[in-house]
Structure 1
Amino acid sequence: EQLEWFENTLKVANMRDYIDWIVVFGHHPLYSEHGRSSRIGNKLEDLFIKYDVDMYIAGHIHHYARLKINDITYIVSGGGGAELDDQVEITNPNTRKAFITFQYCSVEIEGDHLFFKSYSHNGVLIDKCTLEPRRG
């Protein structure tokens, strides 16, 4: 029932010409620097691809990572205050950045650009990426 609701929500968003980006938030990451999560499985990834999701932001793993897979940006933002992981072992070749640090993120839309930024706990920019609109 939840998956049906989620698919319908993505379908409606994807049909609307005025929506420039589809950004999904969740707790468990679909991908991390360790690879693909078996907890979420194929169902979400298939929907993300089918309905042109631009970015998926999740937590759960206690550090920061950004990956790009199938033209979807995956963010793991798990450095919000709990004990951090001891190390980040990068085994996924799609990993763009990975840090062990307390951090927070911001998403800003300016004109026709979506700016994602991640900052360390003391306000230093540690990563950023920009998304262009899905429609020309």
Structure 2
Amino acid sequence: MNIEHIAAGTTLTTISGMPAMSSQEIAEITGRQHKNVLRDIRKMLGQLAEAERHPGSDLSWDPKWVETHMPDAQGQLRPVLLLDKELTFTLLAGYSYALSNLIVKRWLELEGNGFRRVSVAEAVAHLVEREKDIRRMALRELRRLR
């Protein structure tokens, strides 16, 4: 999926009112399988948490990520991780320069879209409505296939 299609067709995902990028979006932009992106994120989070536990570590890590579940095309809930900008860039440090550049461009678009801080309640309400829309589309597609 190309960056223009993603930018035109998605709404902003947030963590505590700040922009976030989902593991699904990272998979779509980079062309990687979502299960592999989830594996990479979990490995990164584990290493960051471990580095913080070492005595004398200067690493102050304030995790800004959320694990949630979203319905797939069949309506089954699948895990999705939401990352803040710092963790997204940290993840991409292990990927290629070309893939990293695509994600950097997407973050610049997110920040350039007149993003405004929203309350947690507004963010939750948005996610609930988004999940309702996804469910409606999935049910519509199931009816069409019958």
Q: Which has the higher strand share?
A: 1
Which one has the bigger helix percentage?
2
For the pair shown, the structure with the greater C-alpha radius of gyration is 2
How would you bin the TM-score normalised by the shorter chain? under 0.3
Q: Point out which structure has higher relative CO (alpha carbons under 8 A, 6+ apart).
A: 2
| TM-score normalised over the length of structure 1 | 0.26
